[in-house]
Amino acid sequence: MPRPPHVPTLTGMDLPAAPPLFAWVRPAWWRAADTAAAVFFGAASALLLAKHADGALPLLGALVGAVALAWPIAARSRRPGPAFLLSLATLAAIAAWQPRSAPAAFVPLGITLYALATRAKPPVAIATLCAAIAAATATALPDFKHSGGAVLFGSIYLVVWTIGFAVGMHRRYTTLTLRTQLDRQRMDIARELHDVVAHHMSVITVQAGYGGLLLDDDNDDAATPDVARAREALAVIETTGRQALEEMRRLVEVLQAEHGSPPEAGLAPAPGLADLPRLIDHAANAGVRVTLTMTGTERDLPPGESLAAYRIIQEALTNVIKHAGTDSATLNLHFTEDHVEIQVSNGPAKPKRSSLQDAPRSPGRGTAGMRERAQLYGGELHAGPTPDGGYRVHARLPLPSRAETPSAP
């Protein structure tokens, strides 16, 4: 399925920028449709303007007018502001030159009004509506032959603007909601990384303090310069470690306050692959039987990679429970010397499981969070439907060599 048009975010991910009803339409298709409509309308406008022109110069003016009427339609999605202004100016010019052809200029004005209403801020959007209605009304002032058309198009402008403004507000609200949820996901990742780093910093600090105590107990060599320098180095390590822990704690508290999260009462041990049995039991209690297979030589992962792998598996199994509509899933872990591969897959949904699960499944915020966790450690993640109607999540996390992997404290 083609990807919908997107807008960039601070998280480096894409967010939908098109109404859900038309999210499957490629941006290039929209531009092609706008161009085709512009060409058709430009040709029709040229014939209309040329019909009331007399002489070479008026014919040239008719050609220029047709181009001025057609270009805003083609450029409405890329440059809605200039397109609207040109439509407004063209309407004024044609109304002054050929009043009988003025209704033709109402069409591009309405099209660009809708495009601008979906993107502009409320004050600007309201100003454009007033300008469009005023322009439609002004065409009827010299003579009242076009008063009916002015009223008709003025009413149409009001309806078109209302729909466009509502679509724009919904689009902005949806984008803001997705950004907020992605930010919360990133906050969860940052908090878990804090737990992992804080644990190791605590070990370093305690060991440095313990080393200083051992040196103090060694009365025979306590006065030697080397021992004094070692004692000073250990003291610096201990002090710096405690300061780092305190700064990290304060930073996490500030981030939690900014995102409206309650402060943590204490630091719980970060989960890892060793906690997979508990995760599989949880899935079984929710009605999904998980078959676990491991290939390769199993090895202990560093705490950060182990946490990332656990969270990816947890989110993937949660998606199976909520959306897959099946009662079974497979989890495969493949270990090599330099990476671990994670694959969570399920078969097609069973019929009539629930109305919620009948909807087509697509990558959502959970997939984005899993991909961020994998990319945080230089890995990659792919998720999508399988040919048999199921779904598969495949992640690959690079691992340090066994010599570089620190032993558990």
Reported as a pLDDT band with limits 50, 70 and 90, residue 53 is low
User: What is the pLDDT, as a whole number, of residue 7?
Assistant: 37
More confident residue, 332 or 21: 332
Rounded CA-CA distance 83/43 in Å is 18
Which residues, including other chains, have CB under 8 Å from residue 408's CB and lie 6 or more apart?
A: 300
User: 289-296 and 328-335: which strand pairing?
Assistant: parallel
- Is 44 a residue whose pLDDT tops 70? yes
Residue 16 confidence (pLDDT): 44
Q: Is the pLDDT of residue 200 over 80?
A: no
| Sign of the alpha-carbon torsion through 314, 283, 393, 397 | positive
Lowest-pLDDT choice from 4-8, 102-106, 273-277: 4-8
CA pair distance 312, 328, nearest whole angstrom: 18
d(CA 13, CA 37): 33
Above 80 in pLDDT, residue 264? Answer: no
Torsion of CA 116, 121, 126, 128, to 10 degrees: -30
Q: Which pairing describes strands 14-16 and 289-296: parallel, antiparallel, or unpaired?
A: unpaired
Tell me which of 386 and 98 has the higher pLDDT. 386
> How many C-beta atoms surround the C-beta of residue 319 within 10 A?
22
Q: Is the dihedral of CA 249, 250, 252, 257 positive or negative?
A: positive
| Low-confidence winner among 61-75, 210-224, 340-354, 374-388 (lowest mean pLDDT) | 210-224
Which two structure tokens, joined as six digits, stand for 38? 């512009």
The span from the CA of 269 to the CA of 263, in Å, is 16
Tokens of 207: 């060991």
Once rounded to an integer, what is the mean pLDDT over residues 231-241?
A: 74
Query: What whole-number distance in Å separates Cα of residue 185 and Cα of residue 285?
Result: 25
Is 389 a residue whose pLDDT tops 70? Answer: yes
Q: Which residue has the tokens 């998606």?
A: 319
Supply 265's token pair.
Answer: 């009462």
Beta bridge pairs of residue 392: 345, 384
Q: Mind spelling out the 3-state secondary structure of 63-130?
A: HHHHHHHHHHHHHCCCCHHHHHHHHHHHHHHHHHHCHHHCHHHHHHHHHHHHHHHHHCCHHHHHHHHH
DSSP 8-state assignment for residue 20: G
pLDDT tens sequence across 284-327: 887 889 999 999 888 888 877 888 888 899 888 888 888 788 88
Q: Of 60 and 143, which is predicted with more confidence? A: 60
The DSSP letter of residue 323 is I
Structure token digits, residue 274: 């060793």
Indicate the pTM of the whole model.
Answer: 0.47
pLDDT at 140: 63
More confident residue, 91 or 143: 91
Say what the pLDDT of residue 13 is: 39
Instruction: Select the more confidently predicted residue: 346 or 139.
Output: 346
* pLDDT at residue 344 in the model: 93
Contact 204, 237 (CB under 8 A): yes
